[in-house]
A and B are shown apart, each in its own frame.
Chain A
Amino acid sequence: MAVRHLNVEVRREGGVAVLDLVGEINGFAEEGLNAAYSEAEAQDPKTILLNFEGVDYINSTGIALIVGLLARARASHRSLLACNLSEHYVEIFNITRLSDFMSVFPDEESAVAEASVS
Chain B
Amino acid sequence: MTDPKPARTNAGPRRTLADFSVPSEPGNERLAMETVAEAVRPFDISGENLERLKTAVAEATMNAMEHGNKYRAEVPAEIQVLVMDRDLVVRITDRGSGPPPPRDGDTPDLEAKLEGMQTARGWGLFLIKSMVDEMNITGDEGHHTVELVVHLEPEGGK
- Nearest chain A CB to B141 CB, angstrom units: 27
Query: How many residues belonging to B are interface residues under a CB distance threshold of 8 Å?
Result: 29
**Interface of A: prevailing SS:** helix
Chain B's interface: helix, strand, loop or mixed, by majority?
helix
**A60 and B48 form a contact (CB under 8 A):** no
Would you call B52 an interface residue if the criterion is a C-beta within 8 Å of the partner chain's C-beta atoms? yes
Chain B: minimal CB distance from A47 (Å) = 18
Q: Give complex CA distance A25, B79 in Å.
A: 24
| Residue B127, interface by CB 8 Å | yes
Contact with A along B46-87 (1 / 0, CB 8 A): 001001100100110010000000000000000000000000
Find B114's partner among A28, A74, A86, A95 (CB 8 Å cutoff).
Answer: A74
- The listed residue (A59, A91, A96) touching B59 by CB distance below 8 A is A59
CB A26 to nearest CB in B, in angstroms, measures: 7
On whether the beta carbons of B110 and A3 are closer than 8 Å, the reply is no
Q: Given B30, B52, B119, B126, which contacts A1 in the complex, CB threshold below 8 Å? A: B30
Question: Does residue B13 face the partner (Cβ distance < 8 Å to A)?
Answer: no
- The answer to whether A101 touches B27 (Cβ under 8 A) is no
